[in-house]
Structure 1
Amino acid sequence: MAEDSGQERTEEPTPKKLQEAKKKGQIARSKELGTTFVLIMSAVSLLIYGPDIGRGLHLVMGRMLTLSRNETYDTSKMFSAWGAVADALLYPMAMFVLVIVLAAFIGNTLLGGFNFSWQAMAPKANKMSPLKGFKRMFGTQAAVELVKALLKFALVAACAVFLIKMYFYEILHLSIETTPGNIVHALEIIAWMFLALSCTMLVVSAIDAPYQSHNHHKQLKMTLQEVKDEYKNSEGDPQIKARIRRTQREMSQRRMMQDVPDADVVVTNPTHYSVALKYDTDKAGAPIMVAKGGDELAMQIRKVAQGNDVPLVESPVLTRALFHTTEVGEQVPEQLFTAVAQVLAYVYQLKRFQKGRGRRPTKLSEHLPIPDDYQY
């Protein structure tokens, strides 16, 4: 997609991109680092178990080269001879191989960690394409591999020449040593030369591992459009989400406006805020806010209240306190009980007066008991 759009991969890969790449088996790997670790550990293992292997080989050769005529034709004797071979070589060889197996597993997870992916194991048609095969043969990665191969050859060849000169007379001296000392000595020389040759690969690994990590990170970089598309797919299109929120808000407002006719009173600012309160002693122990709004919505609440004969009471301080501290459907805060009670008492007295059952109530006080921390 990035190539088609012509955009450059300038954005850092997102966590989702990294996770998807890991599932596909696309992680940073350095074959040189893994190979170097296996070679070095194999040399170390040979240094540790080489003497036991040498002595075991001496016993095996001594036993096999001294078989009598009867033992040669007696199969039971042959099996006993093979048992002696197993006793002499099984343990050191098993430990030697075990170290190599563990080194192969650890060495190949040093960069990128352990990862298992079925998708990476699945056959892919593009990997069998001759055209893409030629591109890989003459691409940047192929050039890097060629440089690494030449560097490895030069380092190993130079180190091999140096080691042969260094151990030349010691190697010649093996011919006059007695067994099994010469076998053990030969394995020791081989192990040290093997270790030295393996250590030359550290130079290649020190270059290859950072390069592979950088190249992998570079391949996973994303275009700005890819980041936007991923955000839309994972989080949703911002325009759609805004439309959903707007629809939900409109539905909530319609439900709220349907409850205004049942309110006992609407307290107003009088121009910026309106809150509708209902006090049902059978359902709640305190008045409940059934609607609230500011500006245009406040005007709509007042219009609905006027159209349904719901009393309007002006109290700017109480209105602001209720608007900022109480949500629709919640009970009035305890700190505002006294002020709201005075408003409801005034409303109830006003209704009785309008029905001719009482005298006109005194005007509601402009200084209702509102705590300082509830004044907005």
Structure 2
Amino acid sequence: MSKSIHKPGFVLGDALDIPTFKVLKQDGTLYKGAQEPEFDKEMALKLYDDLVFIRVLDERMVGAQRQGRIPFYLASLGEEAASVGSAGALKPQDMIFAQYREQGALRHRGFTVDQFMDQCFSNDRDLGKGRQMPIHYGSKALNYNTISSPLGTQIPQAAGYAYGQKLDGLDACTICYFGEGAASEGDFHAGLNMAAVLKCPTIFLCRNNGYAISTPSAEQFSGDGVASRGIGYGIATLRVDGNDLLAVYAATAAARAYALEHNAPVLIEAMSYRLGAHSTSDDPTGYRSKDEEAQWAKKDPILRYKHWLTQKDWWSDEQEKTLYAEHRANILAAMKAAEKRPVPTIDHLITDVYDEPTPHLRQQLKQLKAHMRKYPEQYPKTSGRLDA
């Protein structure tokens, strides 16, 4: 119960004074009093490999979209540490509900370069069977829930999934990623309140990258970021430097331990910056300056982590050149192979909706095939796949 007062006294929006957790400086040295997470050299290099892979993948796929080889792409340039660092602190049994900049978390889980390419090109090996636009990944085997385009839908879903984990007595939690723009959706408030009231072991990780497409944070909310909302819902909350992989890793490890010990949610606000465009359909020069981007480019999370590895004698310039060259070669080869594969059979349009396709769906599919046979010139990529 709160204390009583006898004259009106307002609690102002900045009264909480929420701090930001940091471990690494940009030059790779530790802040005074900071401690490194407890992971070994093998894990450290695995995390760096994930960072570099995603950086190269994003560069290559943005180029592929510009060449007309895929219709759309959405990169995570400048935000890689938030997804890779947090994924590194999770266990394989933990469920991931992503938004659409968490390629790094999926890569860390074991998604292969071929699987990335198969999804982006919607070919016959795509786990989503060609029914989604690029970057909407999903993998049941890796406990990575399929991405949805609408903002915020995954937030209450993650709370519900974590509630099920608790009821089943599992040694597992759920992490839910979203941007600060999604935190303005109603699903954000419903999901956080549900998790708080039902005490669901959910880690809500908000990537506050400064922009909801073209809308800067200052025009989205006047409160103290997103972290203050977690406190308002009675949720354990932490703000972290999202470009500091060591800090993100440590914050997520602590959040996981708390969520499982208390059967309760945690909110992490990872402060970062979207260095690239929102997507390949966006031009950021219309709403922010080159000087602003240049200032944030100096805080590159991959370069910061690389400095730390180098100072520990775990990395060298020669290893750097080899790693980038290998990833570029492998990604290019996988892309060329994926775009040559056929599209999925049209029959997949009605699979996975019900346990068995219903009569009305079968009838609709039959009508669709008849239409496509009547106008084959309009469906060149599907010719020969109608009866597969």
- Tell which has more relative contact order, 1 or 2 (C-alpha 8 A, sep 6+): 2
Q: TM-score, normalised by structure 1?
A: 0.17
In terms of Rg, which structure is larger?
1
Give the number of the structure whose residues are more often helix, by fraction.
1
